[in-house]
Structures are given as structure tokens and as C-alpha cells.
Chain A
């Protein structure tokens, strides 16, 4: 009986291919080397060398940079060709550059949430101030916008810190996000009312709080309730 030289199995006398690996069956009148050891498997797939993390990040950064560069160039060229100067294309130029920095920050500091939050905060502040300096936005936008960005960063930092400090993470993380969201809305509402009317009066943020905070309480209850007492809730509502 002939053998498949790759799989080492005996095949039918008339077989021209191995049914397992499809290799052609070489036929000898006699076994050419009786008692030989089983051949090493040649079919083990050769793994492609994988890129290291650093190489992958660099590749992603290059792709992102080119991805942003193309629309920037198109808009600037169109603006320049039609107006003979760079005018309205400053908007997309500043915003896309800001987006590129945000993407790069996310790529390189994604594993450090606090660093990511505060770097993004700085990028957004710089973007806003640049737009004000280039007269793309009125001066008041900077005065009102900067504190709102600070509230966003502080609330994000609070939610991340609370989540990271939790011994067990589950529905409590969702609750922290909702709390941070509610707090951000409240602070923004108070700040806007202070700037616009001179007084501290919460308005629309109370509606947001009324809608989100009961869910927060349920999520916190589900997470921190006494274990093992009520399995059915965990069964249907666990995250």
C-alpha cells in the first residue's frame, strides 16, 4: 500500500492524491527506506511575522496623518484657486489639524486615561484659542468655551478615577459615566446662566438629571447590593 509522505498515512492502492492533504502520492515498488522516522510535518502554517506594538502605532499614525492631509490640501487648494487667498479654508484646516492631534494622542496615550483626557483638553483649548486668534470665532467663545472644556475634562477625570479605583467593575462604571454626564450638564448650565444672566440658576440640566440619575441609582444598587440574595436580578440585568 502506498503512503502519503506528508501525513504518514497509508492510502488506497489506486489513490493519486492523499485524501487528507491533497498531496500527490509517490509510488514505489518497495518501501525505499524501511524503518525511517516519521517526517516532520511540513504543513504547519508559517506565521507571518507580526508587527510590534510600536510599529503598529507608527503605521496607524502615518495613515491617520495622510488621511487628514488629503482633505486639508483639497480644501486649501480649492479656496486658494477660487479666492486667490486662504480664507474660509482656515476653519477645516484648524479643525482637521486638531482632529489629527486628538487621534495621535489617542493612539499613543490610549493606555493612560488621565494623560489622554488632559492632553485632549489642552488640544481643544489651543484649537479654540487659535480660532479666536484667527478671528474664526468671536472672542466671547473663548471666554465661555474654555471653562466648559475644563468641566468636561474634570468630569471625565472623576469618572475614570472612580472606575479605576473600584475593586470590581461592572454596572458601577456605567453609573459613574452617567453621574459625570449629569454633573457636566449641571456645571455647564450654571456657567452659561452666570455668563448670560449674571445669576446661578439651573434650567435644562435638571431635566437631564431627572432622566439619568434614577438609572444611576438602579445601576449602583445592582452593583453594590448584597451578593447572592437575589439572583434573578443579576441574571437578567448583569452587564
Chain B
């Protein structure tokens, strides 16, 4: 079965259009912006490269939409099936950097291993965190099977059955499916505050991870009557507010602190897609109006999330994004012209309007049969220049990991964030690739 799938995929020269969210990323790629985010698992023992390579070969036919490379067309990029097998690399000090995604025959993801760790660096051109997590989980399950353990497929827990054919719904661009041209577009927010700092050399990417107990964070979040995710967003907004106050920024230079919080739309819309399907909610405060107490920030974030996480409201955002893509003027521009103007459009309409990103993958779960082998899970944000510091989080078991990815030398936001957690009696353990 496996060999027949492999041979069919080798003959396959099919191609896919990029989805609505993925269309912008190829134009943004540079030495500093790689569009790669990273998910990693730490196993209970060192990873075997030959076994993992075999597991990857076994898994790839189940994910034909990831067996692709990026190709330029006249008007848009597209994804073309790549007949090669992806290779596994050794890990590096700087994650998510230096990957020539536009090179012919280059996969849009890579696996990297180091000691007990399997890391998947995955381009947003292909999919979002949900798709990448299922891919990584399924690969790890197959790796453990090859090691002799019995791991059952469990689609609910994100372990795909390798014997099944991919569901057609997994290929779909759900933005297109849920686009309603008749409803009015959502408006965009105004310019937001941005942290300034000295950039580290291109090719480098600093990550600081704080590890803490989910129980302790939950207890604190409960005190403010908010969920863990809302509590952490509020904490990040409070860190930026403190930064502005400490830096004594002039009133006229102050701008709203607005967070970009991606939301997985699969929980709100009936979709099985394995491609991008997320939108952002943007809780914010305006520091020009005065100092916000933490309780006030929590309340604001809580209500913003409730207000914006509504299908009708999200439909408007989908319409706005799709109208941009479907506009006849945009479509008629040749690709190279789009590549020239899209970074500026993204900066003006996108990154300028939010201070930082906070991506919460939530609670990562594995089937009971896998849990003894998985020690920890980690998630790093994609590097960005517009938002120099970005934050991601996930939890596994009682361990919550909050990672800050940054391309600037200063660590003031990270320090304010983690020290304020520490002041709330949450014990924090740090890990970082900043040179010790």
C-alpha cells in the first residue's frame, strides 16, 4: 500500500492555488522574514535519524497538500507537488531562519532534530499551527510505531490514519467556502504602538521561553475572572503599557497597544481543511487615556474576545480579506509587481495596526498510548520585522510554555512580562538561545 502510494505521488504533477492567508507570505519573504513558525516535541530518549526518516516517508503520502514546493506563475504563486522526499536536518542555534522557500524543489517545511527533540519548522504559506501540529503528531506517532510501540490512529487527538486516503475537505480553501460577498467588509484598526530596538544580525533569531505550571496560571487567571489565554494577553498588554510608562514616551508618540491574537476558525466553522484557516481578534487599550490597572486590562481583553469571536463578525473579516484578493485590479497586476507592493501594503494595513502578536495553540493533547514518550511540546513564533517581538504559547500536561521570538537585542518586554508573572506568584523557569 505504502509503495503504491509513493509511486503514485511520484507521478503526481498536480498543483494547488495558495489559500487566502497564504497568498501574502511569498511576497514578504526576506532574510529576516521567513514565514516559518516552529513546533517541537521532546521525547523521552534520543531521536533516531534513520527511523524518523522512514517515518517521514511513510507519513508524507497522507499529507499530499504538504508534499509541495512554491512556484511562481504570471499573476500568483502556486503550490506544485514535489516528487522528492523531504530530508531531516540537525537543529541550529537560531530557529525559523535561513530557508530558501522560493527555490525550486524546496519543501515549505523542514524537520530538525537535536538529542531528544523533533522540531518542525513550517511555513505559513502552507498552513497554520493546527495543520502543522497534526502533521507533527502523526509523524511522531509513526516514529513511535517504528520503534515498536503500539499507537492507534486517533483523528480527534490529531493522529491521522495513514491507511486512509486524504479527505477532499482537507485540501479546501475554507476562506473561499465561507466567503459571502454580499455582507459589508470589516473596518481596519488604526496605527498601533511599536517597540523600537536595535536589530540583531539577519539570520539570527532569539527565542526566550518561560516554562510554568498550568495550574498556577489558571489559579491566577481565575482570580481575575478570565481564561488562561485572556489572562496572558492582558499580561502582555500590561507589559507594553509598563514599557511605555518606563520609557517616558511623549504623549504624541503614544499609540494604542493592540494585540493580534489569531483564532483557529475550525472550531467555529465546519471545516476539515489542513491549510490556513485562521483570523485575528485584536484586543487593545489606549495608553493616552491614562494608566490601566491590570484588572481593567483583563476586563477589556475578556469582553473584546467575547465581542469579536462571533461568526457574523468574523464573516466580515473573511469578506474583507477575500475582496482584497478577488479585486480585479489586484488580480491583473503581474506577480513581480505584486511582490514589490505587497510588503508595503502588508505593513500599512497589517503589521502597523498591531503592536505584537500573541498566538495561543491551547492545550496540546496526545492519545494515552503516546503520553509516556512525550516529555514536552514547544511553539515558537515566526520572525517578523514589523512586530519585532512576538509571543506564542501552548500547554501540555501541567506545563505551559510561553515563547517570545525577537530580532532585536533588547529584552525589556520579555523581562516585564515574565517578572510580572513572577510577582503574581507564578514560578517561571527560563530557556533561551540567547548566548549564556
Where the two chains meet, the residues of A that have a C-beta atom closer than 8 Å to any C-beta of B are 1, 4, 7-12, 14-22, 38, 41, 43-45, 47
CA distance A102 to B382 in the complex (A): 56
Q: A12-B431, A18-B430 are in contact. Are A7 and B436 (CB under 8 A)?
A: no
Q: Is the CB of A1 within 8 A of B429?
A: yes
Q: Is the CB of B419 within 8 A of A45?
A: no
Q: Is the CB of A19 within 8 A of B427?
A: no
CB within 8 A of A45: which of B210, B247, B430, B431? B247
Q: Is the CB of B429 within 8 A of A9?
A: yes
Q: Which DSSP category, helix, strand, loop or mixed, fits chain A's interface?
A: loop
Mask, B419-430, CB within 8 Å of A = 1, is 100110001111
Q: Which DSSP category, helix, strand, loop or mixed, fits chain B's interface?
A: mixed
Residues from chain A with Cβ under 8 Å of B246 in the complex: 44-45
Give min CB distance, B197 to chain A, whole Å: 14
Residues from chain A with Cβ under 8 Å of B431 in the complex: 12, 19
Q: Is the CB of B422 within 8 A of A8?
A: yes
B208 within 8 A of A: yes
Nearest residue, chain B, Cβ from A16? B436
B248 within 8 A of A: yes
Give the top 6 A-B pairs by smallest Cβ distance, nearest first: A19-B432, A10-B429, A20-B415, A8-B422, A9-B428, A15-B436
Q: Is the CB of A19 within 8 A of B419?
A: no
Residues from chain B with Cβ under 8 Å of A15 in the complex: 430, 436
Q: Is the CB of B422 within 8 A of A21?
A: no
B414 within 8 A of A: yes
Residues from chain B with Cβ under 8 Å of A47 in the complex: 248
Q: Is the CB of B208 within 8 A of A19?
A: yes
Nearest residue, chain A, Cβ from B206? A19
Residues from chain A with Cβ under 8 Å of B434 in the complex: 19
Residues from chain B with Cβ under 8 Å of A44 in the complex: 246
CB within 8 A of B411: which of A14, A20, A38, A45? A20
CB within 8 A of B419: which of A12, A17, A20, A22? A20
Give min CB distance, A36 to chain B, whole Å: 13
Q: A38-B423, A43-B415 are in contact. Are A20 and B430 (CB under 8 A)?
A: yes
CB within 8 A of B430: which of A16, A19, A38, A41? A19
CA distance A11 to B431 in the complex (A): 7
Q: Is the CB of A12 within 8 A of B436?
A: yes
